[in-house]
A = this chain, B = another copy of it.
Amino acid sequence: MTFETAFPVWNKLNSSQKNRLLDTLITRKVEKGTIIHSGAINCTGLLLIKSGQLRAYMISQEGREITLYRLFDYDMCLFSAYCIMRSIEFEIIVEAEKDTEVWVIPAEVYKNIMDESAAVANFTNEVMGTRFTDVMWLVEQILWKSLDKRLAKFLYEETLIEESNSLKITHERIANHIGSHREVITRMLHHFQNEDIVKLSRGLIEIIDEEKLISLLED
């Protein structure tokens, strides 16, 4: 797919805007594990994912992480260009969870076009609304769902993303996703194993009773 077909409001741009985008756009390949954006990396630009998977997370002063949302093919990453959004006063970190290829739109180029084009501004609005919705779900989760539900939900979503019931993931990594501690996750996973929901082996979590896992998700 080309950038022209992947960028949702391409047809609403005038030719000057199209040219400015194409002239400044770069394609970047990043390996799994690369930090693409963080508070310390200055205004990376807007990222449109060509292929791969990104994770946006935040980190506490003590180094605890929590996943805010994930981005997949053709999703747009806004907050890597937070310098052009003056009302955004939080920092997130974006890392590649898989080998990923992105189109990078320089922040200033995007901002100029957004200032001219109501279509681009409204599209940006919509993307922000989607991320906002993700974060509001997260607030609900951490406030009102117990850890067993959050862990079950995370494992279930992983099986969908990976299209597999065998998950190669460490307990530390899961803790970082759902904002918990490794020890707590290990204890809960052993509880799930005793309930015959999962089977644990070195670096691997196998979902052996998906129905039971799903039943945990219900209120």
Contact = CB atoms under 8 A, between A and B. Distances in A.
> DSSP majority for the A interface?
helix
A129 B85 contact: yes
Contacts of A135: 132, 135-136, 139
A164 interface: no
Copies in the complex: 2
Contacts of A117: 118
Interface residues of A, number: 41
A187 to B, nearest CB: 19
A85 B143 contact: no
A60 interface: yes
Contacts of A128: 87, 125, 128-129, 132
Interface of A: 58, 60-62, 64, 66, 85-90, 114-118, 120-122, 124-133, 135-140, 142-144, 179, 219
Q: Which 9 A-B pairs have the closest CB atoms?
A: A87-B129, A121-B121, A90-B136, A60-B144, A118-B118, A87-B130, A87-B126, A89-B133, A88-B129
